[in-house]
Chain A
């Protein structure tokens, strides 16, 4: 972990040169950690935090729907569990390998269930899928449950990663091939698998695809929610424009390592900034409602979705992360 290596001897004088050298080293180490997949703790924490955001979002969106089915409670409960899983994964290696993947898988399952119910919800509206635009705009947000799965996906990934402090541990690597002579000593072997790729930070392509997919979900949500508001503000076009670009960059990054290190992080950074600006606009929208801060709860519920832009920014975060990773090994 970067911080551990940053901690020098106590009697070193912190001159600006020393500080800057340390910062450089820390940055290089962080980069190396990410490249080599030694960021389990941080990814677990990020999964937990993003789950908190989407949990709050789903809690009040479902409150708007009055929790008219019991199943509507499940994402709220599971997001709480994922927050707990992410936090415990931050503090404990054991939790990161047990609780975190378990909760993440459960949440991903729930996302599929939610997606089914949302698709059915649109189907059950007058006209159903024969009036797709109207009913997608007026019905349950169709891709929201899948977007909710992004934090679970991060949690699952985190469970496969190495922890920072595991670097250079004395444990011998296991032989990859069953016929390798070292197997006589170790008793077991470990074939090179996708899991190992992930463990070693070699999942750039996968992450690029995840970026593209989540950008699609999030951009689609932004498109029809802003359409609902008739694109009254010009800024409402930005996520709709950035999302396809991010998708294109994510897909291209699968083919081209070059794009993965240039366009992908650039557009991702734009998406993050746009999400932050959007968060500001949405907060302003809440404050501008009748009653403003005097009716905080009601206005958050019925105002613009406060955390939705941050979920869009999370797609950008995935893109940046992808750009920092190594590519999968050729097999």
Chain B
């Protein structure tokens, strides 16, 4: 059961032990889910591994903030550096659907400028592809999820969304009031991958506010409900609760399969003609580094020494404001309005790149945590603040942090319960990042004041991760090419947020999916050549619109 009325009717295919499959995908999240569905639909024999469970949303999910804790990747990780990242809650998922199960589902696109920030601003690095290469995939993914939002979205490459905008909750109202009072443009009701009208077997949003606790309604898109059912229908196998520990390389410097621990903890091996790793920014480099073997002493695909490097997190300060009137931020999806007015570089601000301001709607537990940090509230003070919960609104600032080689993922000495070395993450902020955060934080607070708040506080934190196995044309400075194929091994691919060279100040989910769909088109065009040949065709594949899940077409409005 997925959502309130969606069911997977067909039985799942099971490949027998020892059978060689075409593709093994490690991690069925945003990237892996889309890829799995595409490859299955194109007729490949494909298995998706996920370290977490296959959710039965009616049974496994509870509409409770604490009860949703098992949606996150809670295994031990070591975090280091001057500005260490917090792991667990909001930046990783475990289970089929991955992070899309608990994302707030803001789905803005990157701006065209994001693809060439080195050429224009002299910072970071350029992407190997321009925006125009990804644009058709953005459009396709916006239909497949589908994305609700205004019919004209003015920032970046202006575009419209296939589903209508959502009504505002109290936080959205505050953001709109604040922005319009300051003369800042603001987008109301999206872009967010939550249904504003029903579609096929998924009902529309009922604004109950438990989006990041896993939407039991089925209105919020996650690959678990948008792509995985179609993948299973088309003969893909998903092996949940299976932790892949190692990728094996054969004598010809090609990968031959993966070792994994199944749900009972048994060590198993799965033969595959090609392997795609989609484990996100921490687990992907961890797996590559842990798969070091003779010939690849530094880890797989790591001849450039870039695996694990250039990890990025987005600055995600939360600004909270207290209002005289009731806000009730638990109502409505946390994601429903934003402004990208400050997205692009502005020379007057004294730093490169920019940020977005978005609505967030923390439920009481996160709110308590934020109040603890922001106001030092504790004891009776915390209790009285919590009693005031309904009067507070929260905006999230989402700032671009530039890639740096020293922000990296390494293997630690410590091992997890399966004996796999755990990841150690080092993270520091640099000059541009600090200036950007300072400016953006103040601007966000200004908007909160302009909305009519009587008191404004903020908590510094980080949001989405990307990078750590970046793509590029030069094998010396990047791990994979523009289609996610590793420079070193012709039948090893990466397909998740880790391949993004820079992050913009857009939430990365939609971009990861668009990259996955593009990679899928590439793999499908290459066909069996991927399994045999060392040759690399770098021509753009034609876009395949016939591989979308069946309910993609015939709904929503024409684009403007």
A interface residues with partner B (beta carbon < 8 Å): 63-70, 126, 289-292, 294-295, 297-298, 301-302
Q: Is the CB of B164 within 8 A of A66?
A: yes
Question: 24 A-B residue contacts at CB 8 Å?
Answer: A63-B151, A63-B164, A64-B164, A64-B196, A65-B196, A65-B197, A66-B555, A66-B557, A67-B197, A67-B555, A67-B557, A68-B197, A68-B555, A69-B554, A69-B555, A290-B172, A290-B177, A290-B180, A291-B179, A291-B180, A291-B188, A298-B150, A298-B188, A302-B189
Q: Is the CB of B180 within 8 A of A66?
A: no
The reply on B290 being an interface residue by CB < 8 A is no
Residue of A whose beta carbon sits closest to that of B185 = A294
Please name 17 further chain A to chain B contacts, defined as beta carbons within 8 Å, in addition to the given A65-B204, A291-B186, sorted by A numbering: A65-B198, A66-B163, A66-B164, A66-B195, A66-B199, A67-B555, A68-B163, A68-B556, A69-B555, A289-B173, A290-B176, A290-B180, A291-B176, A291-B179, A295-B176, A295-B188, A298-B165
B317: min CB distance to chain A, Å: 23
Q: Is the CB of B4 within 8 A of A291?
A: no
Greatest chain B CB density within 10 A among A67, A68, A297, A298 is at A68
Q: For the complex, what is the distance from the CA of A6 to the CA of B196, rounded to whole Å?
A: 55
Q: Is the CB of A63 within 8 A of B188?
A: no
Q: For the complex, what is the distance from the CA of A69 to the CA of B555, rounded to whole Å?
A: 5
CB neighbours of A64 from chain B (8 A): 164, 196-197
B217: min CB distance to chain A, Å: 10
The reply on B495 being an interface residue by CB < 8 A is no
Q: Is the CB of B165 within 8 A of A291?
A: no
The reply on B88 being an interface residue by CB < 8 A is no
Within 8 A of A (CB), among B197-212: 197-199, 204
Q: For the complex, what is the distance from the CA of A70 to the CA of B189, rounded to whole Å?
A: 22
Q: For the complex, what is the distance from the CA of A276 to the CA of B163, rounded to whole Å?
A: 33
Q: For the complex, what is the distance from the CA of A301 to the CA of B196, rounded to whole Å?
A: 13
A66/B148 contact (C-beta < 8 A), A126-B4, A295-B180, A298-B165 known: yes
Residue of A whose beta carbon sits closest to that of B146 = A66
CB neighbours of B148 from chain A (8 A): 66
Digit string of B130-172 for contact with A (CB within 8 Å is 1, else 0)?
A: 0000000000000000001011000000000011110110001
Q: Is the CB of A290 within 8 A of B173?
A: yes
CB neighbours of B167 from chain A (8 A): 302
- Shortest 5 CB-CB contacts between residues of A and residues of B: A66-B197, A68-B197, A66-B163, A65-B197, A290-B176
CB neighbours of A70 from chain B (8 A): 554-555
CB neighbours of A66 from chain B (8 A): 148, 162-164, 195-197, 199, 204, 555-557
Q: For the complex, what is the distance from the CA of A68 to the CA of B198, rounded to whole Å?
A: 6
The reply on B174 being an interface residue by CB < 8 A is yes
Q: Is the CB of A294 within 8 A of B196?
A: no
CB neighbours of B554 from chain A (8 A): 69-70
A308: min CB distance to chain B, Å: 17
A126: min CB distance to chain B, Å: 7
Q: Is the CB of B196 within 8 A of A291?
A: no
Greatest chain B CB density within 10 A among A63, A70, A291 is at A291
CB neighbours of B176 from chain A (8 A): 290-291, 295
CB neighbours of B150 from chain A (8 A): 297-298
Q: For the complex, what is the distance from the CA of A290 to the CA of B173, rounded to whole Å?
A: 6
Q: For the complex, what is the distance from the CA of A307 to the CA of B168, rounded to whole Å?
A: 21
CB neighbours of A294 from chain B (8 A): 180
Q: Is the CB of A65 within 8 A of B180?
A: no
Q: Is the CB of B177 within 8 A of A291?
A: yes
Digit string of B529-560 for contact with A (CB within 8 Å is 1, else 0)?
A: 00000000000000000000000001111000
Q: For the complex, what is the distance from the CA of A294 to the CA of B183, rounded to whole Å?
A: 9
Q: For the complex, what is the distance from the CA of A69 to the CA of B148, rounded to whole Å?
A: 15
Residue of B whose beta carbon sits closest to that of A121 = B198
Q: For the complex, what is the distance from the CA of A291 to the CA of B204, rounded to whole Å?
A: 26
B220: min CB distance to chain A, Å: 15
B523: min CB distance to chain A, Å: 32
CB neighbours of A63 from chain B (8 A): 151, 164, 557
Q: For the complex, what is the distance from the CA of A66 to the CA of B195, rounded to whole Å?
A: 8
CB neighbours of A69 from chain B (8 A): 554-555
Q: For the complex, what is the distance from the CA of A70 to the CA of B165, rounded to whole Å?
A: 18
Q: For the complex, what is the distance from the CA of A174 to the CA of B150, rounded to whole Å?
A: 60
A68/B199 contact (C-beta < 8 A), A63-B164, A291-B188, A302-B168 known: yes
Residue of A whose beta carbon sits closest to that of B553 = A70
Q: For the complex, what is the distance from the CA of A297 to the CA of B167, rounded to whole Å?
A: 12
Q: For the complex, what is the distance from the CA of A16 to the CA of B196, rounded to whole Å?
A: 61
CB neighbours of B189 from chain A (8 A): 298, 302
Q: For the complex, what is the distance from the CA of A219 to the CA of B163, rounded to whole Å?
A: 30
Q: Is the CB of B165 within 8 A of A301?
A: yes
Residue of B whose beta carbon sits closest to that of A60 = B164
CB neighbours of B188 from chain A (8 A): 291, 295, 298
B496: min CB distance to chain A, Å: 29
A229: min CB distance to chain B, Å: 13
CB neighbours of A67 from chain B (8 A): 164, 197, 555-557
A299: min CB distance to chain B, Å: 9
Q: For the complex, what is the distance from the CA of A63 to the CA of B190, rounded to whole Å?
A: 14
Residue of A whose beta carbon sits closest to that of B187 = A298
Choose among B164, B168, B197, B204 the residue that contacts A290 (Cβ–Cβ < 8 A): B168
CB neighbours of A298 from chain B (8 A): 150, 165, 188-189
B532: min CB distance to chain A, Å: 45
